[in-house]
Amino acid sequence: GPVLGIESSCDETAAAVLAADGAILAEAVLNQSDHAAFGGVVPEIAARAHLAHLPRLVEGVMRHAGLGFADLAGVAASSGPGLIGGLIVGSGFAKGVALAQRLRFVAVNHLEAHALTARLPGLVEGGAPFPYLLLLVSGGHCQCVAVDGVGRYRRLGGTIDDAVGEAFDKVAKLLGLGWPGGPALERLAAGGDAGRFAFPRPLLGRPGCDFSFSGLKTAVAQMVAGYPAGPLRTQDAADIAASFQRAVADVLADRAGNAMAAFAAAPGPGRLVVAGGVAANATLRAALQAAAAARGFSFVAPPLRLCTDNAVMVAWTGIERLRLGLSDRLDHAPRPRWPLDAPDMQRA
């Protein structure tokens, strides 16, 4: 039967209903605008906004799907990692529905939801088969992961300082673009000269597939602070944005290249999958697609709305887990930290 998914780990309140075969019956995402004035997500405001909006959002997707709660096979909710207040709201709501209707509950790891998005049957023919190499690029994470199966993740490398989305958000702030910064920076960069500023490309050409972005961010900060002609003109800001984005693209392509070399694909062609909010960036997608082609890997990138936080990926992860007989007790505690390779990811 169908599965309801709920996402509330950060500042997107989202709900979706998927049929057992992965067909999307209904989806809704609410981007909380309440944080813009603060230049970042305020956890308490986020939790209260989830509480205020989630019931209406869930009602809406259920109505759109033409289903009642009793028609569901299960309820899945992001239960970590993320901001604990929002996680408690979303997982608590899901548990309430599950308890009332005696449905199975899946405590979804939000990173696993990003990781399994490429398996949605509508994306690749029948969904990407295991194993594949995942580049997870989001607001809180930047890592290369070998995805061997549901719950089976091997971390090949990750950032040693900032997450890539964090770097986008910080540079956007330096350029006065407001918040959230990633999409605004990409729009500004579209009119800029990516070759004008030679920003550093941390770890490029070095072995391994770790990442580092703090030096790049600092270089942009120094450029902006020391800009000779006083306040930045729009064209200068666009050139900085484009040059920064190009540096990130070069780094991601280089590190993903090493990860592909290290990734011993089981029989069949190698496949590089990108996921997470930063994977919505067209310049980065193009660079990664080229890197994959150069290694003979095929490339899978979800549609933009399924890169940033959404509940379709959460419901889908619920379906994948329920198929394997994996569900969770109603006393499962949401957690702010929950790495993909944690021992309990293969929990029964």
Binding residues for ligand ATP, per CB under 6 A? Answer: 10, 82, 110, 114, 138-141, 165, 168-169, 180-183, 186, 276-278, 280-281, 308-309
Question: Counting contacts by CB under 5 A, is residue 10 touching Mg ion?
Answer: yes
Contacts of 239 (CB under 8 A, 6+ apart): 192, 193, 194, 196, 197
- Residue 314's closest CA among 57, 41, 105, 97? 105
- Residue 176's closest CA among 214, 233, 215? 233
Minimal distance in Å, beta carbon 81 to Fe ion? 9
Instruction: Say if residue 114 carries a ligand binding annotation.
Output: yes
Residue 158 binds: one of ligand ATP, Fe ion, Mg ion, none (C-beta under 5 to 8 A by kind): none
The alpha carbon of residue 166 and the mean position of all alpha carbons in its chain are separated, in whole angstroms, by 12
How many Å apart are CA 2 and CA 67, to the nearest integer? Answer: 9
Minimal distance in Å, beta carbon 329 to ligand ATP? 24
Q: What is the DSSP letter of 311?
A: S
Tokens of 82: 């993320």
Q: What is the DSSP letter of 121?
A: T
Of residues 145-184, which lie at the interface with Fe ion (CB under 5 A)? none
Instruction: Say if residue 137 carries a ligand binding annotation.
Output: yes
Q: Report the residue number, 74 or 334, with the smaller CB distance to Mg ion.
A: 334
Q: What is the DSSP letter of 226?
A: T
Tokens of 233: 């003109």
Task: Candidates 156-164, 245-253, 304-312, 320-328: pick the segment binding Fe ion (CB under 5 A).
Answer: 304-312
Residue 165 binds: one of Fe ion, Mg ion, ligand ATP, none (C-beta under 5 to 8 A by kind): ligand ATP
DSSP helix/strand/coil, 34:
coil
Task: Candidates 50-58, 138-146, 224-232, 285-293: pick the segment binding Fe ion (CB under 5 A).
Answer: 138-146
How many Å apart are CA 298 and CA 202, to the nearest integer? Answer: 26
Q: Among 13, 79, 117, 138, indicate the residue that binds Fe ion (CB under 5 A).
A: 138
Structural contact between residues 75 and 105, judged by C-beta atoms closer than 8 angstroms: yes
Residue 278 binds: one of Mg ion, Fe ion, ligand ATP, none (C-beta under 5 to 8 A by kind): ligand ATP
Q: Report the residue number, 11 or 320, with the smaller CB distance to Mg ion.
A: 11
Q: Report the residue number, 112 or 166, with the smaller CB distance to Mg ion.
A: 166
Q: Report the residue number, 41 or 67, with the smaller CB distance to ligand ATP.
A: 41
Residue located via tokens 């193009």? 286
Upper half-sphere CA count for residue 232 (Cβ side, 13 Å): 19
Binding-site residues from annotation: 110, 114, 136-140, 169, 182, 186, 281, 309
What is the contact surface with Mg ion in residues (CB under 5 A)? 10-11
